[in-house]
Amino acid sequence: MSQYFFILALLALIWFMLIRPQRRRQQAAQRLLQTIDVGKEIVTAGGLYGTVTAVDGDEVRVEIAEGVEVRIAKRAVAGVVNEDQESAEPPDEESPATLPTDSA
């Protein structure tokens, strides 16, 4: 009887450690793909950043530069860029750095 309990305990442990987290990741990925709309800035699995210009079924058209539009698979979208990440970019330097001069 204790052998069956041990096997059931191992199966439950495997379910909690492997299967359940994988299902959560899949659901999160599906929710991400459903939130893709025209005008959102995204990043692809290949590291390209761009703005969505059209969504057609399983394909997304993304403008990666002015006048440059690519067609990618919807499942290749790795994430939607938040406005918080855009404002976290370092500000441009207004004046060049001055180096100390040696007048001696």
80 with 39: CB under 8 angstroms?
no
Q: Can you give the pLDDT at residue 85?
A: 52
Distance (Å, whole) CA 59 – CA 42: 14
Cα-atom radius of gyration of the chain, to the nearest Å? Answer: 24
Q: Can you give the pLDDT at residue 102?
A: 58
Stronger pLDDT, 52 or 17, i.e. the higher one: 52
> How is the beta sheet containing 59-65 ordered, strand by strand?
68-73, 59-65, 49-56, 41-44, 77-80
Give the angle 88-92-50 at the CA atoms, nearest 5°: 55
| Region 37-86: CATH code | 2.30.30
Q: What is the mean pLDDT of the chain?
A: 82
Write down the domain spans for the chain.
1-34, 37-86
Rounded to an integer, the average pLDDT of 26-35 is 87
- Which backbone phi and psi does 13 adopt, to 5 degrees? -65, -45
* Structure confidence by residue, pLDDT tens digits, 54-91: 999 889 999 999 999 999 999 999 999 876 554 445 44
